[in-house]
Structure 1
Amino acid sequence: MGQGRVVEEPFEMNVTKFLQKKYKLILAFTIPLTLSPILVFFNDSEPAKCTYVLLLMAFYWVFLPIPVCITGLIPLVMFPVMGIVSMEDVCKTFMTESVILLISAIIVSSAVERYNLHRRLALRTLLFAGSEPKRLLLSLMITAAFLSMWIMNMAVYAMLFPIVQVLVEELENKLARTTGMVNSAYEQELHKNGKVTRDENALEMSAVIEENCTGMDEQQQKTSHPGDVTRNDTKGPSRLMMCFNLGLVQALIIGGVGTLVGTFLPLVLVQNLETYYGPSAKPNFGEWMVYAIPTQIVCLALAWTWLSTFFLDLGQSILLCFSGRSNCLKKKQTVEGDIVAVLRKQYDELGAIKWSEVVVIFIFVVLIVMWLFEDPQFVTGWRSWFKPGFVKSSTFTVAVTILCFIIPNKRPSLPRCTHDIEKFEPLLDWQYVVSRVPWDIVFFAGGGVSLTVGIKESGLDLLVADKLDFLNSWDPWIVLLITTAIGALLTEFLSGPVYVGLILPIVYVTAHMKGIHPYYFAIPITQASNLSFCLPAAHPLNAMLVSFKVVTVPTMAKVGVMLNFLCLIITNISMNTFGWKFFDIDTVPAWAVIDLVNATTTVASVTV
């Protein structure tokens, strides 16, 4: 191994840590004092009290004087003391049915990780794609997006990152031999130090990621490891290196909103709808997938097209193919052997498929089918077999979770009864699950949903909607475009769940005033708030790319701005076309009716 060194962190992460180290106590105490005039001048106003709590939590989430999950506990103290929400009602928001669904799904998906099923799927897909860079990039992005629909994106990233580094190294080595020159600063460093290979370095990076992939406070993750050979000279990372790593991260971000359990933002939306309107307001798993996956596919196709155009000269290749002067087939044959050999070697190291893998595949497929057919629109779902309102998708998910701790990870020899019960090991054990599940999401999610309860009970949502009354004169698509654009912009600097939790109660009232379905605003805003491709501070995966020196910040920004714009347009078009008919936006459901009688009096008294 080479000499160990600490990987430099992006500027945004250094600023956050500097504030935490130097001014942690000052921030923790001065922020509440700075906001205290709100309570002094409006001491009898519940909306003002709720505004104080909202701003306090927002500042704490941004500057992190205390952990983000602990910030989520603030409503448990402030709302009961201020007389906004009772202690019992606030506590109910910290363990909802949606949180149970997410945690259970993460536990089941950890079985997929434990037995390397996601790695087997990824290598098999890449082998099928061949070795042409554009096809390889497309295969990588499809695999990453699909896996991130069911498994935490940090875990998928930790698994795919070493594979990407090996693929890029082989492509660059071939390019160096065929052109007679080294293509990147990484290759120059590799030739200087022949003792360290890229594969070893990639595995070390993967170990660093896996150590920290379960925490919610992701900006505080460690990014140091020994033997880092990704240090660059002034030339920086190669175009291939940046292309494949950006493609990996962008696919993970896009794929996360394909299901309700793929990332944290759909959970925030579901919890907000449940808290604000009641249990009937939540979209079921099948509804979300039928609407979200087509949008996800289009965005993924645009991301691949843009990356291929920016880095791999896709436009030039198309022109050459039409002109008959393309030699892409010859180039493909020259690199096919080594790339496929590397992938085949890694796949063969996994060995033959085992009993535990077969069982996990079966369990996971059954679970997905049950999610999809809970209450589909075209046939009667299995939920109708039970007492109405009692059994939901989370019920079956918890049942599957329990089975993972009962089913053995080795095939029992029942006919001969020779199975040693003392050596029995289930598919999952509690120690492994504890290390994989981000338990602090309970506090983080509960804090965000408590804010929604406080905003509704205090009348702050109606007050803000009254101040924004001019929006009622605008067409709904204009309001949607503005709110989604603000979400896509702010989440480059602010946490997506924070923005979604703050804006949703306001757009619910706006939807009521316009006489349309609340989904019209709520779902696209949630999707747009996940579009964080431009800056390292926008997403932990972006920060890791910069920390590991595989992507430069200017390139990330250039590529991300265009992709943000394209995905934002697709998100709006999707809701105004397919989504309008699918959710019957013109019809306001019975559960979405808001009682404005008492709230109007509150708004009027506060305004005066």
Structure 2
Amino acid sequence: MKFSHSIQFNAVPDWSSHYIAYSNLKKLIYILEKTVHRPLAGDDVEQSPLIRSSEPDHAFRRALDVELEKISSFYQLKELEIYGEVADFLREEESYEVENQEQLDGETGRPNTSGRVSDRPRQGSIFRSFNMGPRRASTLSRSIDEGVEDSDDDDDETTGLTKSKMSRTKTMPTDLAASRSEDMRASTELSKSIRRNSQAYDDYAEQAFATMFSSGITLKKRAISLYVQLCELKSFIQLNKTGFTKVLKKYDKILDQSLKSKYMEKFVAPAYPFRPETIKQVEENITKMEQAYADVVTQGDIATAKKELRLHLREHVVWERNTVWREMIGIERKAQAANLGLGRTLLGPDHDPANARLQGDDMDSPESKELTTPVGRIRIPAWLYSSTMLTLIVIVVLFFVLLYIPIMKKTEQQNCLAMLVFVSLLWATEVIPLFVTSLLVPFLCVVLRVVRSDDKPHHRLDASAATKYIFAAMWTPVIMLLLGGFTVAAALSKYDIAKRIATFVLSKAGTRPRTVLVTNMFVAAFASMWISNVAAPVLCFSIIQPMLRNLPSDSQMSKALILGIALSSNVGGMLSPIASPQNIVALQIMTPPPTWGIWFFIVLPVGIISILLIWLILLMTFKPGKGTTIVPIRPVKDKFSGVQWFISLVTLGTIVLWCVSHQLEWLFGDMGVVAIIPLVVFFGTGILTKEDFNNFLWTIIILAAGGLSLGKAVNSSGLLHTIAGAITERVQGFSLYGVLVVFAALILVVATFISHTVAALIILPLVHSVGIGMEEPHPNLLVMGSALMCSAAMGLPTSGFPNMSKCSRVTKSGHR
């Protein structure tokens, strides 16, 4: 996450205006960068900057001083306020402890004369000792109550004791009976008086306990609140210090200065919020609050107190900052929806499926449509009558039609033709994800029984044998080679090795627009060789950002740069076997597969000539040299770390083994086995993690595996041989290169409109089979030429990922 988002994400909402204005400082850096380089554009006095190139440090320091003063003054006021509340709380907590202990001593009859809160171990917190149920009466009050109850009987009760008393009273003399009667009345009055006093004492005790419990609850809440405020104070210091460090680092990097170390040592470190004693004081107060909370709530258990306080802190953060998080997540989701092109137009901008389900969605809306049928009116969801669903229905209907209309002589070939058309149309239209279509291939191969035995060509395999056959075709050494390529690319990207090499080369390009353009194009092509033509344009666009920022919005150089990187990344997709999936498919089809040395020998001249031709076209089209001054790209000054050297050596060793794999076939057997080396080394040593492995383009791997299984099934059923024979008859009079031109033109058109990988999966097996059936068989030549044309198909903005990345980059930068 970018720090500008991180500070917004972690800031206390009420203090948001008092944090370092990181985004504004970044904008100032970019303004200073443009100002510094603007005089290079010409000698016009009116266009000369207000801030000279020698003054950016002074201007930036002024902005930093304002931020530092703002942060320091706010922190001192907030610290004084919070520390005052902490001191008040600790005094109240101490008096509360004294009252609590006196109450406990009063219950047990132990007077506290030691002058301390307690001279015995803590018996428990108020929350453990207080019983919210009916309080048990004391021994004295219980005995009095029992006596009163015994003597407070009704006169008409006829117990044995009452009868005996009455009989004795009757037999007594009158004076004595009267005297006894007066004594009994006096005793009864005394017992009732004692009972009333005991009840009053119980009421007073209950009230005192309730008061103490309420005070304990209040103290607990205050302890939690103060603990949270102290943690926020500590976070305030850390976030702002990180902000100063990062913004100074960015300033030094963009303007090639060395301000960070001097400013941090001279101004930031001595500032009151960032002194070591300030941090220490905050931590001491946090410790005091943990101890106080333990005394009041957790019977003195510090570990439990810390655990509970941290839980309260987390709940507070979630509650207080929920609005900020929700807004940020909403922005991210909108961006993802825009990038992925989600079909909200079908559902309406305000449609929420969850709300629709909860509310019943009974009202007529554009998300549904009613049809009148003989059995009544039926409501159909939008996705059922959308263009995507209609396309899918047409494809499925065509599939079943091809299954039952006899076109081929043999059943397995007829079924395979239906499956081939079905899968090709799903891939071409992308009505369902490409990898999902690939997963349908083995299912259909088994269910339709299109696979035949290699030993007995006319024997159709049963379901069990076909399952083993087709799944074995999905996982081949070529798939392992693809995984090895992903691993090398991940390591080079994660540890900035590719970026360092690219910036080093671009820093030598100088400031001439033509030289800078062609250098960027070759760097993009070289990066595409090793980190794929998916990651290479993203990397190159990030490198040229400083250059684009300093160009006018209507500059032709920016358009030439962006287009040049995109098109050369497409060309780079053909320069190595692991650069793109279509190369992997070609390696799998060609027999024998070419070595890496042969591949480089064929492809490097083609790629270099293609890039130079694209460069000339861009120069003639945009004329980027007119009135353009280029800001040179600076190389990374940090030295290679040990990990980076290790990754580089392992990568180079793996590439060398791939190049000589045919000579070492007796040892490794196939290039796919060599690909295991970077997998084991990088993941085994922890250089790459499980998350990196999960981030591989598994959809591409599944797509390639499905395509390989489709090619195996089409070949096994005999359909490929039949189609290739028919095509061979029609190109009988063509020369080898004439056939190559025909197929190259065909795949160029197809791959322009659909995915390069999909075009290779569909057409390359057919090209190989046609090449075998010719009078002079050259299947590898045809396959190699067709595979290269897959990468060269870049006529539309949607032709390949580099072109789509270019479109998004043009939109973001405003260089249209």
Same-fold call, TM > 0.5?
A: yes
Q: Does 1:529 align with 2:790?
A: yes
Where do 5+ consecutive residues of structure 1 fail to align? 173-182, 186-237, 274-279, 318-330, 376-380, 408-425, 556-608
Q: Give the drift of 1:18.
A: 6.2
1:169–1:484 Cα change, 3 Å? same
Counting only pairs closer than 5 Å after superposition, residues 23-38 of structure 1 correspond to structure 2 as 23-38=387-402
**How far 1:551 sits from its partner (Å)?**
9.9
Deviation at 1:470, TM superposition (A): 1.9
For residues 642 and 339 of structure 2, the distance between their equivalents in structure 1, rounded to whole angstroms, comes to 47
SS in structure 2 of the partner of residue 514 of structure 1:
coil
2:458 is equivalent to residue 458 of structure 1: no
Q: How does 1:574-589 map to 2 (within 5 A)?
A: none
1:107-118 equivalences under 5 Å are: 107-118=487-498
Residue equivalent to 1:356: 643
Q: Write the letter of the residue equivalent to 1:546.
A: C
The answer as to 2:436 corresponding to 1:70 is: yes
**Aligned-partner Cα distance in 2 for 1:40–1:65:** 24
For the pair 1:443 / 2:812, whether they are aligned, the reply is: no
Q: How many Å separate the matches in 2 of 1:40 and 1:152?
A: 43
The residue number in structure 1 matching 2:11 is none
Question: Which residue of structure 1 aligns with residue 559 of structure 2?
Answer: 242
Distance 1:18 1:443, change over 3 A: farther
1:510 equivalent in structure 2: 770
Aligned partners of 1:484 and 1:525 also within 8 Å? yes
Contact 1:7 1:548 in 2 (8 A): no
Q: Root-mean-square deviation (CA), in Å? A: 3.2
Is 1:301 the counterpart of 2:612 in the alignment?
A: yes
Within 1, Cα distance between the matches of 2:337 and 2:750?
Answer: 22
Q: Is the 8 A contact 1:241 1:551 kept in 2?
A: no
Residue 383 in 1 paired to residue 661 in 2? no
Seq. identity, %: 21
The DSSP-based 3-state class of the residue aligned with 1:56 is helix
Larger C-alpha radius of gyration, 1 or 2?
2
Report the equivalent of 1:122.
502
SS of 2:421 mapped into structure 1: helix
* Alpha-carbon contact 2:595-2:660 (below 8 Å) kept: no
Does residue 103 (structure 1) correspond to residue 486 (structure 2)? The answer is: no
Contact map agreement 2:399 2:419 (CA 8 A) in 1:
no
Q: Secondary structure at the match of 1:84?
A: coil
How many angstroms does 1:550 deviate by?
Answer: 4.6
Q: TM-score, normalised by structure 2?
A: 0.49
Q: 1:478 to 1:281 in 2, by over 3 A?
A: same
Instruction: Judge conservation of contact 1:72–1:443 (CA < 8 Å) in 2.
Output: yes
1:347 aligns with 2:636: yes
How many angstroms does 1:66 deviate by? Answer: 2.1
Partner of 2:521: 141
Separation in structure 2 between the aligned mates of residue 140 and residue 367 of structure 1, nearest angstrom: 26
- Residues 489 and 12 of structure 1: CA distance in aligned 2, closer, same or farther (over 3 Å): farther
Listed as ranges, the gaps of 5+ residues in structure 2 are: 1-22, 25-327, 348-381, 452-465
Task: Give the Cα separation in 2 of the matches to 1:108 and 1:509.
Answer: 33
TM-score when normalising by structure 1: 0.65
- C-alpha contact 2:514 2:624 (8 A) present in aligned 1: no
Change in CA separation of 1:10 and 1:535 when aligned onto 2, cut-off 3 Å: farther
* Alpha-carbon separation, structure 1, partners of 2:435 and 2:341: 18
Corresponding residue SS for 2:520:
helix
* 2:569 paired residue number: 252
Residue 165 of structure 1 corresponds to which residue in structure 2? Answer: 545
Asked if structure 1 preserves the Cα contact closer than 8 Å seen for 2:530 and 2:579, the reply is yes
**Corresponding residue to 2:422 among 41, 48, 56:** 56
Separation in 1, partners of 2:689, 2:338: 37
CA distance in 1, matches of 2:543, 2:506: 10
Give the paired residue count.
Answer: 434
Amino acid of the structure 2 residue aligned with 1:115: Y
Question: Which residue in the other structure is 2:403 paired with?
Answer: 39
Q: Which structure is higher in RCO with an 8 Å CA cutoff and minimum separation 6?
A: 1
- Note the C-alpha offset of 1:26: 4.3
Alpha-carbon distance in structure 2 between the residues aligned to 1:12 and 1:56: 25
Query: 2 CA distance for matches of 1:312 and 1:394?
Result: 46
Distance 2:344 2:673 in 1: 40
1:292 corresponds to which letter in structure 2? Answer: V
Query: Which is worse superposed, 147-156 or 18-27?
Result: 18-27
Residue among 736, 749, 761 paired with 1:501: 761
Decide whether aligned partners of structure 1 residues 456 and 552 sit closer, same or farther in structure 2, where only a CA change above 3 A counts.
farther
Amino acid at match of 1:359: F
Which deviates more, 527-536 or 247-256? 527-536
Q: Give, in angstroms, the shift of residue 252 of structure 1.
A: 0.9
C-alpha distance in 1 between matches for 2:673 and 2:516: 39
Q: Is residue 789 of structure 2 the alignment partner of residue 472 of structure 1?
A: no
Stretch moving more, 132-141 or 440-449: 440-449
Which amino acid in the other structure matches residue 101 of structure 1?
L
Tell me if structure 2 keeps the 8 A contact 1:532–1:538: yes
1:83 to 443, 449, 474: 449
* Cα pair distance change 1:77/1:383, threshold 3 Å: closer
505 and 365 in structure 1: CA distance in 2 versus 1, 3 angstrom threshold: closer
C-alpha contact 1:546 1:553 (8 A) present in aligned 2: no
Residue type at the aligned position of 1:243? A
Question: 2:752 aligns to what SS in structure 1?
Answer: coil
Which whole-Å deviations, capped at 9, do the CAs of 1:155-209 have from their partners, x for residues lacking one? Answer: 2222221222321332x2xxxxxxxxxx435xxxxxxxxxxxxxxxxxxxxxxxx
Deviation at 1:553, TM superposition (A): 14
Letter aligned with residue 365 of structure 1: L
**In 1: Cα distance, 2:400 partner to 2:616 partner:** 51
